[in-house]
Structure 1
Amino acid sequence: MRLLVRGGTVISVDPRTGDLPRGDVLVEGGRISAVSEHLDAPGAEVLDATGMLVLPGFVDTHRHTWQAVFRGIGADWTFAQYRAAMHGTMRPHYRPEDVHVGTLLGRVEALHSGITTLLDWCHCTDTAAHGDAALDALHQAPGRSVFCYGAGIGTDIPVAAELARMRGRIPGGDALVTMAVGLRGPQTTSMETTVADVAAARDLGLRVSVHVHVRPDATQGRRPVAVMREHGLLDDRTTFVHGNGLDDDEVAMMADAGCSVSISPDVELKMGFGWPETGRMLAAGIRPTLSIDDCPSAGGDMFSTMRTTLSVQRGLDTARGGPPSLTARDVLEFATIDGARAVGLGDQVGSITPGKQADLVLLRADDLTLFPANHPVGAVVSAAHPGLVDTVLVAGKIVKRGGALVGLDLGELRERALRSRARIAADAGVALDGTWIPGEM
């Protein structure tokens, strides 16, 4: 199929291609074949992008998608309350069908707001059937997903065999669903288990992602990066999630090894992790990536995440008496090309580059929210929102057109999600009106 995206303002996030105030993007066989101010493509379907901004799809590098049916319930929770609620109280009542509908709902919502690639950090895998249900949902959703399998969370049980089984369910090549491993990590399990988990991931050729953050008053687990380095577990296939409170030399270790970092600014701020470490990572030579984390506590779109990232870091820079350490373009790169590299897809997506997969987002720039978009990148980062996402392409296929997702029965999905939410809440004894405040764990 040939598709010509015509007449939009192209923000390529590729320094070789540059930005085009008026440009065309030609898509052939699911890939971008040309980008120019004007292209002739006889016989191609024309997608009129007049009055729109044409961007690469966003990349969310860490989201616990299975929790989507409890969107907003944790707006006032601390991190300890979140753990007690989602893992201690509600997760034991999740059936495989609940994981499926939550994952599908969350993945579709992310796609609706222009997140074409999402790393689903799935730690509701208490049985093989739960893991299968999450993977089935990602296969069903029309987006590009990385199934980050968090096996054995809270235990020291061996997971190599289950990782190999799940890897066997994911095709290779240019499949929309790929796989990574969510490590339990040295702060939640033994070092022996962490070593074994990384070895199992490497045997399968998989990247790893691990949560780390250190509270100022912590007495244990204070140097998780250092202990992983001592065991030879750091390389460019390792992503650290959050990274708040790490010692300076540990950040340097990450940079030296080529590790990436996934920052979730909204959750980190409201749950008490500390200030997002965007500036520290940049200063050490690490290009941060962005993630939503969990929708019970935070909004699920990349626009609000970018806005928080820019505002908070610029505020910190000013408070410390220094010059600004990042720009709107930096933040857009965090949400696109830097994220793509962190999930192992930098040569496939993340920029509008000939030869890459055609994962594109078209934003309405004639809407009064953005009009006139004098500084298009600045407008996207500082003012855009999901309601402006008119069209989304994944691998050249239109999955959202005219503001509506294509080929999905959203009514049926909503009904399933409400039934799942009601049953889990009833079984767990959880009120859904914001009055329930969980204990801590």
Structure 2
Amino acid sequence: MKILLAGGNVVSMDTAVGDLDRGDVLIEDGVIVEVAERIDAPDAEVIDATDRIVMPGFVDNHRHTWQTAFRGVGADWTFPEWAAAMHGTAKPHYQPEDVYVGTLLGRLEALHSGVTTMLDWYHVAQSHEHEDAAVAALRDAPGRSIFCLGAGWGTPDPVDDDIRRVRSDLPGDGPVTMALGLRGPEDTSMDTVDRELKLAAELGLRTSLHTVASGTQRPIAELHAHGLLRETTTFVHANGISDEELRMLADAGSSVSISPDVELKMGFGSPMTGRALAAGLRPTLSIDDVPSAAGDMFSAMRTAFAAQRGLDGGLNSHDLLEFTTIDAAASCGLDARTGSITPGKDADIILLRTDDLTVFPVTDPADTIVSAGHPGLVDTVLVAGRVVKRDGALVGADLPALKTRLTASRDRIAAAAGIPLDGTWRPQPESK
């Protein structure tokens, strides 16, 4: 099957391909085969990309999708309040159906806003049935997803058997793959980190780890001293990490995932975007959780951009597009398959409207996307050449039924946990 994206403003994110004010993209059997000013393909289905920016889909490498039902309730929470609310109060009442519908709606939301690849950082472990429900939801959403099973967030210790069980169900390189969510030095021993890294290497899994430093804490230096930094690990947040430690991550080939909205609002400190870049890292951006932040990459880019420009005037709009496409794909080990419009890569592509009054007239596509982009511009989404959103609507998704299920899930959990849904919920963190 051939598809021709015809007449769009192509932002390829590939220096060899370049950008085209007016260009065509030819897709065959889900793979990009040609990018040029004009392509003659009379046997292809034509998607008119006139008045559209054609660019790679966004890659979100860190999102706790199970929390979708409680969207927006934590907009003014601190991190201790979020932890008390979602892990201490709500999570114990989650059933597999709640995990399924929250994950599915959250993944569909991400697709709707142009996120073609998403890492689901799962830490709602209650049972194998909960894990299986999350995997089933990711499979039922027509996107490229990575199920990152978080060790130590309710899973049995040792976690080896559980990781192996899920890995046996996700063995290949299909649309849903697997990663391992590590515990860091703030949460466990170096022996445990070492064991989990060895397990990940044995099973061919990339890893992700949350870390924030304060005061005299030096978590990256501790890992470095024990030889536990890997090019296959993404460090989430990394606020408060010293410049020396950031260089350690760069030397190891590790990645950093920054969640700017959550970090600024929850009290983590300034996002590390500019400092990571100065240390030789290619920072990436992620959403984190929708109880606290918007679920689209446009918002994350704008916050990261504004925060860094306010500090030192650094970054430009093209940097932000790289962070959320090709750099994020590399952090997931998928840059050979996605993250740019490159012949030979899978056709993970989005079309953004340029005739919408909120962005019209578009003079510079990158500047417009970063400064004024929003999910309402996402007209068409393709994942591996499959059209999953067309003319502004998701294809084949029964959204009314899913919305009803998600609302029922939220209401049931809230009733069981004694959570008020009138805007007055202010969780009380445990005192130490």
Report the TM-score, using the length of structure 1 for normalisation.
0.96
Contact 1:154 1:189 in 2 (8 A): no
Contact 1:63 1:121 in 2 (8 A): yes
Q: Which residue of 2 aligns with 1:139?
A: 139
Amino acid at match of 1:392: V
| Partner-residue secondary structure (3-state), 2:147 | strand
CA RMSD of the aligned region, Å? 1.1
Matches within 5 A, 1:382-397: 382-397=371-386
Whether 1:430 aligns to 2:419 is yes
Amino acid at match of 2:225: E
Q: Which residue of 2 aligns with 1:178?
A: 177
Q: Which residue of 1 aligns with 2:203?
A: 204
Shift of 1:325: 2.5
Regions of 4+ moved over 4 Å: none
What whole-Å deviation, never above 9, does each CA across 1:252-273 have from its counterpart, x for those lacking one?
1101100000000000000000
Shift of 1:197: 1.3
In the alignment, the residues of structure 1 paired with residue 422 and residue 5 of structure 2 have an alpha-carbon distance, to the nearest angstrom, of 45
Whether 1:366 aligns to 2:355 is yes
Contact 1:126 1:151 in 2 (8 A): no
Matches within 5 A, 1:69-108: 69-108=69-108
Shift of 1:155: 7.3
Shift of 1:362: 0.3
Whether 1:307 aligns to 2:307 is no
Shift of 1:14: 0.5
In the alignment, the residues of structure 1 paired with residue 184 and residue 95 of structure 2 have an alpha-carbon distance, to the nearest angstrom, of 26
Whether 1:282 aligns to 2:281 is no
Q: Which residue of 1 aligns with 2:396?
A: 407
What whole-Å deviation, never above 9, does each CA across 1:160-206 have from its counterpart, x for those lacking one?
11111101111414x11111101122111222222211111111010
Contact 2:123 2:154 in 1 (8 A): no
- Aligned equivalent of 1:235, options 230, 246, 264: 230
Contact 1:349 1:356 in 2 (8 A): yes
Contact 2:100 2:133 in 1 (8 A): yes
Shift of 1:125: 1.5
Q: Which residue of 2 aligns with 1:162?
A: 162
Shift of 1:398: 0.2
In the alignment, the residues of structure 1 paired with residue 2 and residue 346 of structure 2 have an alpha-carbon distance, to the nearest angstrom, of 13
In the alignment, the residues of structure 2 paired with residue 135 and residue 378 of structure 1 have an alpha-carbon distance, to the nearest angstrom, of 36
- Aligned equivalent of 2:322, options 333, 357, 362: 333
Amino acid at match of 2:165: R
In the alignment, the residues of structure 1 paired with residue 154 and residue 53 of structure 2 have an alpha-carbon distance, to the nearest angstrom, of 44
Contact 2:124 2:154 in 1 (8 A): no
What whole-Å deviation, never above 9, does each CA across 1:43-93 have from its counterpart, x for those lacking one?
100000000000100000100000001000000100000000000001011
Q: Which residue of 2 aligns with 1:7?
A: 7
What whole-Å deviation, never above 9, does each CA across 1:295-329 have from its counterpart, x for those lacking one?
00000000011111111101000xxxxxx331000
Equivalenced residues, count: 430
- Aligned equivalent of 1:260, options 246, 251, 255: 255
Contact 1:292 1:299 in 2 (8 A): yes
In the alignment, the residues of structure 2 paired with residue 40 and residue 437 of structure 1 have an alpha-carbon distance, to the nearest angstrom, of 60
Contact 2:84 2:429 in 1 (8 A): yes
Report the TM-score, using the length of structure 2 for normalisation.
0.98
In the alignment, the residues of structure 2 paired with residue 293 and residue 256 of structure 1 have an alpha-carbon distance, to the nearest angstrom, of 26
Whether 1:193 aligns to 2:182 is no
Amino acid at match of 1:437: R
What whole-Å deviation, never above 9, does each CA across 1:127-157 have from its counterpart, x for those lacking one?
1111111111101100100111113216771
Percentage of pairs with the same residue: 62
Amino acid at match of 1:214: A
Moved more, 84-93 or 179-188: 179-188
Amino acid at match of 1:394: V
Contact 1:154 1:184 in 2 (8 A): no
Q: Which residue of 1 aligns with 2:54?
A: 54
In the alignment, the residues of structure 2 paired with residue 189 and residue 104 of structure 1 have an alpha-carbon distance, to the nearest angstrom, of 31
Shift of 1:126: 2.2
Amino acid at match of 2:206: R
Shift of 1:223: 1.6
Contact 2:250 2:280 in 1 (8 A): yes
| Partner-residue secondary structure (3-state), 1:76 | coil
Residues 14, 80 of structure 1: CA spacing in aligned structure 2 closer, same or farther, 3 A cutoff? Answer: same
In the alignment, the residues of structure 2 paired with residue 177 and residue 227 of structure 1 have an alpha-carbon distance, to the nearest angstrom, of 33
| Partner-residue secondary structure (3-state), 2:26 | strand
In the alignment, the residues of structure 2 paired with residue 150 and residue 362 of structure 1 have an alpha-carbon distance, to the nearest angstrom, of 33
| Partner-residue secondary structure (3-state), 2:136 | helix
Amino acid at match of 2:144: R
Shift of 1:437: 0.2
Contact 1:54 1:361 in 2 (8 A): yes
Long gaps (5+) in structure 2:
none
What whole-Å deviation, never above 9, does each CA across 1:301-360 have from its counterpart, x for those lacking one?
00011111111101000xxxxxx3310000010010000000110100000000000000
Whether 1:213 aligns to 2:212 is yes
Q: Which residue of 1 aligns with 2:63?
A: 63
